[in-house]
Structure 1
């Protein structure tokens, strides 16, 4: 009955597709793993609890939770201090044409690449205010913005909310499969193989530089005679009651980047290496957490001349709590990995799916992952579900591990960009006053084009480059 080890993942996938709810589906998967491990009404529940506790006992997992909580809290501090609103107000005066809008979109990525939702919140109101000047429909603006959100951020190897989680799912998966290797190095090696992300970014560049805009129907769009100041209150981060102080956005963002690399260098020196090798030997997650901590403390001290400490602390906690849904999702993903390890999932994959030709592994995972991520709208959920499968298949087939990991990450990126359920789609649609379903349909054609290119590359690359 070894095939029972597959049941938790089957439960998660089926429930996620039909319910379109990732967290309840993951919980049922963990619960089923508990009862498969211990066939007793009480022992099954105890095993489920043990899987969750073990997942939260891992030091790296706790560091990821701390980073995400503090990052969300820091964004809230930027919001209440007027940093985001001030940036939008200042940036909107700089945009006078489509090319300047394109340039601002990419230049702003240098400081707002930490998370897709944060990036969208800071740049979408600017584009909304300047839409008439750039002569682009709202769908085109949203598309242009989103090509520099998830598809770009998954390619950035440091100082993003994604890096810690992406590294952690690799770590859990290689541990479960009995594979040796450094998770962060594997993540770096997998970046060139995220063919969907590169294709989507390329399409965004084409749209921004060469595509001639034409008037398209905008479902839910307001009358063209509306004021250019209609960006105010399009999102709580740019509400009317907030001040306008762009320095409270610009300084913290560059502080996070600077201190992350600073701590990477200092921590890497302890390995005895020198030069650029120092950065590869550093514990990147530690550096990111420390850089964020220093930045948060510095920002709160800087803000004391405008806000009381009690107000900032309350906002800090409330902002961090906004990340609790993501933290619960991560906890269940980690618990599912612990449970599947107890059921010897990797061994079952190795013995049951060894018949799949190696050249088909990456392309098959990518296609399945695209379907899953589109229906659940979660890149992180997709990565957590498919990465253990991908690593185990790579191990048994002899396929390059980084190549397969890149295929899994690419599949989740597709859903984050194209799904009508994704946070990216709904945040952009909310700010630009678009119908999420109609807007996602507008994005689907170019997303499928990029996915088609990626699928072909995942199939032919093993033959061309002997991966």
Structure 2
């Protein structure tokens, strides 16, 4: 398709609007609307074009699978919460933890079973730490930082059974299809994981702060004030998932997690095995998205039966599932608009424009520039997912033009979004952990901005070095 400068106008609308409003969805929606009117410049035609692009994106078979996966995953978490799975885990763990080292080891080890989503990590770990804050002997800001390093930075590196995987693979698929790159998006995601330098460096900083650094100052956060005695049990009020009225049933958390991970791994292997591949090759050649969706649906059904046997009411379970699923509807809407925007900019000739007018950018600057630009966007909009949706088509296009490794650039895009999720005062991660630990959001953001910028600077250098080497 002929290069058309009009194809960049939707992106020139998306980024400033998202930054100005501090909301991703309005920017994406206006970008889609502008692109639609460029495509069909008439009063009714633009609206019809926008509607058509969104509908076509939603009815795509792979996109439907991703929507089902996201909704069902969030619905499963909703059932786990209302059946007392999270509260049960928190109560039992808090009873056994006696020292700082035990508490910090639990923070890291528990990632094995609670890596579904950042919020899920926070509501299973932060209440425990809040209850044991004096034993941990860290400032509350440091504790929040350590907990956050075990959330998004780790979750974006895990290739199965998380709320992120389906979205991340979908974003890669959109960008590569627009460039006519015939490659398995899941394989590209796997290859990009080692290049998410910001997440990796942040995890290392978290480990250092946990086990090798001792704070010399005392926190003034309300959870660590001396006058807190009997009221310390008020950590039950820090999040609805650990409320006192919920039952204490840790197996209602552990069993679904074991099932979804086990079935995902088995069905992934089975799909590759059915295609005639050996054990390890089977995992690479399998249709992972299909395996994850089917594994999740089986887990939802078996978990519901397990809860019914405990005499939870079917009506309550369905309500919990729907409430949980609806929590992710904003993400599904976001994803639908991203799909539509990507399709319309592709039809307007965005890929051809990038190829025609960006070949002057030195190869070694592409990955670090993408990371720095994306980190700035994600900081101001506070959304990793929004940043990925905006930036991935541009990143893949630049990588294709400049002959830069696709996994490297994709890793840089994911790293840039991770920066915003971690460091931005607008991110859900920041606000959730601050609320649970009783911190001032602004003070907490100021505390963690320095280590976040250090990790970002190290990441930028690493992208420059790796691009130069390869």
TM-score (norm 2): 0.97
Counterpart Cα distance in 1 of 2:400 and 2:99: 51
Counterpart Cα distance in 2 of 1:214 and 1:181: 52
Counterpart Cα distance in 1 of 2:429 and 2:454: 19
The 5-angstrom pairing of residues 275-290 of structure 1 reads 275-290=279-294
Counterpart Cα distance in 2 of 1:39 and 1:415: 36
Task: Determine which of 6, 13, 26 is the counterpart of 1:24.
Answer: 26
Partner of 1:395: 400
Deviation at 1:68, TM superposition (A): 1.1
Deviation at 1:220, TM superposition (A): 5.4
Contact 2:140 2:224 in 1 (8 A): no
Counterpart Cα distance in 2 of 1:280 and 1:2: 38
Partner of 2:462: 457
Decide which moves more: 268-277 or 140-149: 268-277
Task: Determine which of 442, 445, 449 is the counterpart of 1:444.
Answer: 449
Partner of 2:101: 99
Partner of 1:182: 184
Unaligned 5+ segments in structure 1 are: none
* Change beyond 3 A, Cα 1:216–1:355: farther
Counterpart Cα distance in 1 of 2:445 and 2:65: 34
Task: Determine which of 168, 171, 191 is the counterpart of 1:169.
Answer: 171
Task: Determine which of 190, 193, 201 is the counterpart of 1:191.
Answer: 193
Counterpart Cα distance in 2 of 1:89 and 1:223: 22
Deviation at 1:263, TM superposition (A): 0.8
1:232 and 2:236 correspond: yes
CA displacement 1:330-368 (0-9 Å, x = unmatched): 111111111111111111111111110111000000000
Deviation at 1:94, TM superposition (A): 2.1
Counterpart Cα distance in 2 of 1:136 and 1:395: 47
Give secondary structure in 2 for the equivalent of 1:245.
Answer: coil
Decide which moves more: 310-319 or 100-109: 310-319
Contact 1:362 1:404 in 2 (8 A): yes
Q: Which runs of 4+ in 1 moved over 4 A?
A: 219-222
CA displacement 1:349-388 (0-9 Å, x = unmatched): 1111111011100000000000000000100100010000
1:296 and 2:300 correspond: yes
The 5-angstrom pairing of residues 86-235 of structure 1 reads 86-218=88-220, 221=223, 223-226=225-228, 227=230, 228-235=232-239
Give secondary structure in 2 for the equivalent of 1:161.
Answer: coil
Query: Cα RMSD (Å) of the superposition?
Result: 1.2
Task: Determine which of 64, 67, 70 is the counterpart of 2:69.
Answer: 67
The 5-angstrom pairing of residues 313-324 of structure 1 reads 313-324=318-329
Counterpart Cα distance in 1 of 2:418 and 2:353: 28
TM-score (norm 1): 0.97
1:337 and 2:342 correspond: yes
